[in-house]
Amino acid sequence: MRAATPRHRETARIIAALVVRETCARFGRSWGGYAWALAEPVGGIVILSLAFALIAPKPPLGSSFTLFYATGIIPFLMYNSLTSALMAALQSNRGLLTYPAVRPTDVLLARAALETLTHVAVTATVLIPIVMAQPQLPEIAPDRIALSLALAAALGTGMGTLNAALAAIFPTWRQIWSVLNRPVFLVSGILFTARRIPEGLSEWLWLNPVAHVVEMMRDGFFGPDPGAFASAAYVMGVAATLFLAGMILIRGQTGKLLQI
């Protein structure tokens, strides 16, 4: 195993320092800021889960609509939050980019790390009480849950990096993305499952990588999909392609990054 080079150690220190800076800027220096960062998404998930449970008391999987909805919305929110947070990362940190030691990649990875850790905490805060409240505890597969969160983080980072590059080139991309991204909620299997839709429609749903992430989270709580809908390799391939495309565009727009 190769030892870390001085450049790698310096990069790790820069990213760690940026994470601390982002944490203080976003949450402040008091515990209240951290508590609100968890309470806001948790409250939204709980309220929506209860509302949908009243509308459709019998979920497509399992016996609890609250658990069914939570396992769908949590990975989606992680992906969605990363795409938006990274899109604004370069603009909000453009002053730091004037320093030769700080690269755009460092800024993006630092914000991605903070968003990911925040949503992992949200996941535990939401799902543990819901699971413990079930009359019969489900057979949980922690590896599938962890893989779903990792894939959501990778996909959000990839799309967020591309968004950051496009926003630097076309400032109106922020408004365009907000419109383009809205239907993703409806076609990602949050309120339904790929196991219960016709085969012709599931083939189109398969093209949406977010649907794979959601199904993988559901596999961790409701058992594996007999049709093997979710593919980690596909999601990672899409995430890597988006990230590389974003980095190529960012490298070609170094001058504009200081002016956005």
Average pLDDT, the chain: 83
Report yes or no on 1 lying in a domain: no
**pTM for the complete prediction?**
0.87
Q: Which one-letter DSSP state was computed for residue 166?
A: H
Higher pLDDT, 121 or 22: 121
b/e sequence 69-93, b meaning 16+ C-beta within 10 Å: bbbbbbbbbbbbbbbbbbbbbbeeb
Question: Does residue 171 lie in a domain region?
Answer: yes
Is residue 45, in this structure, part of any structural domain at all? yes
Question: Which range of residues forms the domain containing residue 131?
Answer: 6-257
**Total domain count, the chain:** 1
The per-residue pLDDT for range 67-115, each reduced to its tens digit, is 888 899 999 999 999 999 999 888 777 777 777 777 888 889 999 998 9
What is the residue type of 157? Answer: T
Is 173 domain-assigned? Answer: yes
DSSP annotation of 259 reads T
Question: CA-to-CA distance for 195 and 33, rounded, in angstroms?
Answer: 40
Q: Are the C-beta atoms of 68 and 62 separated by less than 8 Å?
A: yes
Q: Tell whether 170 is covered by a domain.
A: yes
Of the two residues 247 and 48, the one the predictor is more confident about is 247
70 inside domain: yes
Q: What is the pLDDT of residues 238-253, one digit of tens each?
A: 999 999 999 998 887 6
Helices (H), the chain: 6-27, 31-55, 65-87, 89-92, 104-132, 142-169, 173-180, 199-206, 209-222, 232-251, 254-257
Tell which phi-psi region holds residue 163, choosing left (phi > 0), alpha (psi between -120 and 50) or beta: alpha
48: in domain: yes
